[in-house]
């Protein structure tokens, strides 16, 4: 019997809850014996899961070593790096996918027979560049990791056109674009509700200005409601939103739903909203999975003038773009909604949903991996 090739998928994240990682697992377990290494339980379909204990952190940088710019020692002392390196020692895989910058050096050092695909979920050197202290101290460390190790990968992918360009400009490698597109769903657009039902799903983070979206719905002159489905990333901020909702007849805050149930939940609504302030470089170039979740659920979208998201909204005619990220501009965009315009947005989302489905994007990873496997090392 022919041996199936082996693959390692390494990520310092809970793989079974990470939508992007689950797409890699779903595609490659069809043809590879996949071993995953990351936090949390095993995803379905893998032959083995190496679970990193949650207390072994991937971001416990040694501040003294950062100050001394001893970047190599900083990296190889990270708790999750030490743990995963020890538990992967002596193993050999045909190919590896390393998810995000921190995972790439470990994968590169394992020397898979046919190489490493580095899937870069963000532009890591400017992850928190809205924080001057972080930018001054941590950006140079990330730049060192990318220059020293990520450039040693054999193929690369990332999430938006702007981030593709930034990595090439600063480090010389050209990543392939693999958006965070949602899996395809076969829905028929529902008729528009009255009041128009708006929804936002995702992380509860203060720097996403979720309260602006809530206040804009509350202030809008037209008949609209807003439902949040939020993970408790920032419990005090989540409580603030719940307190606001308790005083509002238009805004409701729900617990998050499992990703497998999200599309069905969203399909009950009319418009998805994500007005993301460009407080840092990655927010400025964000092309988040929720945009594609909304499209696959046959919703229109309301966004701020985020260049990557705006491209899709304009290209496919699927929603409203606020003039800026303020309460006033967000309110104005909501007030432009009508039954007629939302009907058009939902119909356009239905038309483009097959083209924008995640399966089309996963094909890019398959092509890259096929290219690595065809090489002789």
What's the rounded Cα separation, in Å, for the pair 177 and 172?
16
Q: With beta carbons less than 8 A apart as the criterion, state whether 369 and 117 touch.
A: yes
* Residue 30 main-chain phi, psi, to 5 deg: -65, -35
Closest CA to 373 of 4, 1, 5: 5
Average pLDDT over residues 315-321: 98
Highest CATH level, class, for 196-352: alpha beta
- pLDDT of 377 > 70? The answer is no
Band of pLDDT at residue 260, cut at 50, 70 and 90: confident
Residues 6+ apart with CB under 8 A from 311: 161
Taking the chain, what is the end-to-end CA distance rounded to the nearest angstrom?
24
The average pLDDT across 68-92 equals: 97
Q: Is the pLDDT of residue 1 over 80?
A: no
Distance CA 18, CA 330 (A): 29
Q: Which pLDDT tens digit goes with each residue over 145-164?
A: 999 999 999 999 999 999 99
Kindly indicate the confidence band of residue 2, based on its pLDDT and cuts at 50, 70 and 90: low
* Strand, coil or helix: 367: helix
pTM of the model: 0.85
CB 251 within 8 A of CB 273: no
Prior bond of 150 cis (ω within 30°): no
Q: How confident is the model at residue 259 (pLDDT cuts 50, 70, 90)?
A: confident
Looking at CATH, the fold of the domain delimited by 6-181+358-373 is given as Rossmann fold (3.40.50)
Q: Could you tell me where in the chain the CATH 3.40.50.2000 domains are found?
A: 6-181+358-373, 196-352
Distance from the Cα of residue 65 to its chain's centroid: 30
């Amino acid at each position: 019997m022919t041996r199936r090739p082996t693959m390692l998928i390494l990520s310092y994240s809970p793989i079974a809850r990470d939508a992007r990682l689950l797409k890699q697992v779903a595609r490659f377990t069809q043809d590879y014996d996949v071993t995953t290494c990351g936090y949390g339980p095993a995803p379905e379909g893998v032959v083995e899961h190496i679970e990193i204990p949650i207390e072994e952190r991937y971001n416990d940088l040694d501040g003294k070593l950062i100050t001394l710019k001893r970047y190599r020692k900083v990296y190889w002392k990270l708790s999750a790096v030490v743990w995963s390196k020890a538990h992967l020692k002596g193993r050999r895989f045909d190919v590896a996918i390393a998810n995000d910058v921190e995972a790439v050096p470990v994968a590169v050092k394992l020397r898979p027979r046919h190489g490493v695909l580095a899937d870069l979920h963000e532009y890591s050197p400017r992850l928190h560049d809205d924080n001057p202290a972080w930018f001054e101290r941590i950006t140079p460390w990330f730049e060192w990791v990318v220059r020293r190790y990520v450039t040693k990968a054999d193929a690369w992918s990332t999430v938006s056109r702007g981030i593709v360009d930034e990595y090439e400009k600063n480090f010389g490698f050209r990543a392939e674009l693999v958006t965070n597109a949602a899996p395809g769903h076969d829905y028929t657009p529902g008729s528009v509700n009255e009041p128009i039902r708006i929804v936002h799903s995702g992380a509860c983070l203060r720097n996403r200005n979720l309260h602006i979206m809530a206040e804009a719905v509350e202030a809008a002159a037209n008949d609209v409601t807003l439902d949040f489905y939020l993970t408790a990333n920032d419990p005090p901020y989540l409580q603030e939103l719940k307190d606001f909702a308790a005083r509002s007849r238009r805004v409701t805050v729900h617990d998050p739903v499992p990703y497998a149930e999200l599309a069905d939940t969203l399909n009950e609504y009319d418009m998805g909203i994500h007005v993301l302030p460009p407080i840092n470089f990655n927010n400025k170039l964000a092309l988040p999975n929720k945009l594609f979740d909304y499209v696959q659920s046959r919703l229109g979208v309301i966004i701020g003038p985020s260049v990557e998201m705006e491209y899709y909204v304009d290209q496919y005619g699927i929603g409203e773009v606020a003039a800026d990220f303020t309460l006033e501009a967000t309110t104005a965009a909501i007030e432009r909604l009508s039954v007629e315009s939302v009907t058009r947005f939902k119909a356009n989302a239905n038309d483009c949903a097959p083209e924008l489905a995640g399966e089309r994007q996963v094909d890019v990873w398959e092509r890259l991996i096929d290219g690595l496997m065809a090489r002789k090392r």
